[in-house]
Amino acid sequence: MKLKSELKDALTSLLGDYGVLAIPTVPGPPPKLNQDSTTLEDFRAKAFSLLAVAGLSVFCQIFVPLGLHNGLPVSVSLIARHGAYYFLLNLVQAFYQTLKEQAAVVWESGL
């Protein structure tokens, strides 16, 4: 419980009422079908560390699909303060097309 409280306090201090934290939704490309168990477990642990931020802090999180890069789906997660569901949804609605366009620009540049 102490960890949850500390995480919530830290994110509240960082984001305030109108801040948004952008993080990767997952740590990288999805594992291959016949991936060895050690690599698969490593991927799961890294994915959980990204996916658990909002759940542990009781903040809002939304996954924003940005398209395909090298044939694989790409998305970003946006996190906002507890109870800011409408704020976060309105933000994504307002900036979704720009986010997709900027992702395409980055991919085309080879980064």
Nearest-CA neighbor of 24 among 43, 38, 5, 40?
43
Tell me: the pLDDT tens digits for 15-49?
A: 999 999 999 999 998 888 888 999 999 999 999 99
pLDDT confidence of residue 110: 78
Question: Would you state the pLDDT for residue 30?
Answer: 85
pLDDT of residue 63: 94
pLDDT at 111: 66
pLDDT digits (tens, 9 = 90+) for 41-97: 999 999 999 989 998 899 999 999 999 888 889 999 999 999 999 999 999 999 999
Contact 47, 39 (CB under 8 A): no
